[in-house]
Amino acid sequence: MTAPDDLTAGRDRADELLRRLADDEAGGGGAAEALLEELTEVRDLAFLGAGLTAIARTEGRALPPAQRAQAATRQVHLGVMRDRARTDPAGLRVWLRRAAEEVLLLRRLREAADRLAG
């Protein structure tokens, strides 16, 4: 059974990974990679991924229909990547990095759509 603390920790780590990745893209160091390297257990990586997936789905729902469909397709591809790396922490870290990059992309797309809408 999954403890609520595991879910909360996964979501908190997902938020932290997104913050660090955004900072890295803005000229920071490798803070996002450092966070991922700290996690060695498949269970911890999986809960972080669940947090990112929940965020991505929420962000995707705010997009215009065509972009939402494209985001859904990318989520399917990320799911395949996750499934291939199911027991491999290094592979799961690659998946998490890509999943976090997807969330940041969704946020940029939504900001652009909001600007165009008015």
Q: What is the pLDDT of residues 33-91, one digit of tens each?
A: 999 999 999 999 999 999 999 999 999 999 999 999 999 999 999 999 999 999 999 99
Rounded Cα–Cα distance for residues 81 and 18 (Å): 19
- For residue 41, give both structure tokens: 């257990």
Nearest Cα residue to 74 out of 93, 94, 49, 99: 99
Residue 5: band (very low, low, confident or very high) from pLDDT cuts 50, 70, 90:
confident
Identity of residue 22: A
Nearest Cα residue to 21 out of 10, 30, 8: 30
Rounded Cα–Cα distance for residues 104 and 82 (Å): 19
- Give yes or no for residue 1 having a pLDDT over 60: no
